A = this chain, B = another copy of it.
């Protein structure tokens, strides 16, 4: 549990070449930074892979302003880096979309209040009015954005975009049972994390616990992933499983699975908010 006071995070990906770590760490040393953690990974260290780096560092009192600008100019441009620098004191703003099932929502709210999410929930919206009281009981705003017969999904997505655009850094689908459109994702322009109640890529789509029962699997799982335009096919952040048996019917699978769903989603949200998750094509690097 790293204190966040005065901690800055730097996340980098770029073409792998010798000298990146030396250049970055020398730059930070000369700025007076004290490196707390450093994680590094090369997708193919022997043949033109991609280099990933995550650092946490502190700066001395009275350090000059403009560190990101200097980093961009002196380091990032030279090495062709995709990068961001983020003050750990400024928590990510999280918006949650949900539907009727409340276990993932409850888990996020509860961990948020315990300060275990490493981010701030700023809004909960749902296509059902059910959880207004719960959410407002936590002192958080709740918006009911139904999918109406007339307006359909375009209207609903339009209203959500008004609520969300520019007001959050990540959107979490906490068992939000609507498929979001590619256009919505594009216009939203922040990462969207979904929890799917199966061990993807097994049991894509509807009723994964029913599918699991029918296939007779001995473990059921849950998958947190970034949402892309293709259903249940985005980069996986985290997965976990639980053992089941022939004597578990579909309601029991649903109950046991919901425990896995909430822990997997909570881990994924936390790791995302701590800038631990980097994308590598349709995969993720999780530091």
In the complex formed, the residue of B with least CB distance to A60 is B18
| A: contact size bracket | 35 or more
Q: Is the CB of B215 within 8 A of A236?
A: yes
Report the nearest B residue to A246, measured CB to CB.
Answer: B285
Q: Which of A22-30, A139-147, A148-156, A165-173 contacts B (4 or more CB under 8 A)?
A: A22-30
A22 contacts which of B29, B103, B238, B286 (Cβ < 8 Å)?
B29
Mask of A92-125 contacts with B, CB within 8 angstroms, 1/0: 0000000000010010001000101000000000
**Interface of chain A, helix or strand or loop or mixed?**
mixed
A137 at the A/B interface (Cβ < 8 Å)?
yes
Chain B residues whose C-beta falls within 8 Å of the C-beta of A41 in the assembled complex: 37, 246-247
Copies of this chain: 4
Contacts of A46 on B, CB cut-off 8 Å?
A: 3, 36
Q: Is A218 among interface residues, defined by CB-CB distance under 8 A? A: yes
Contact of A38 among B21, B28, B284 (CB under 8 A): B21
Tell me if A186 counts as interface (CB < 8 A to partner B). no
Please indicate the chain B residues that have their CB under 8 angstroms from the CB of A1 in the complex: 249, 251-252, 255
Contact across chains for B40 and A37 when beta carbons are under 8 A apart: yes
CA distance A263 to B259 in the complex (A): 8
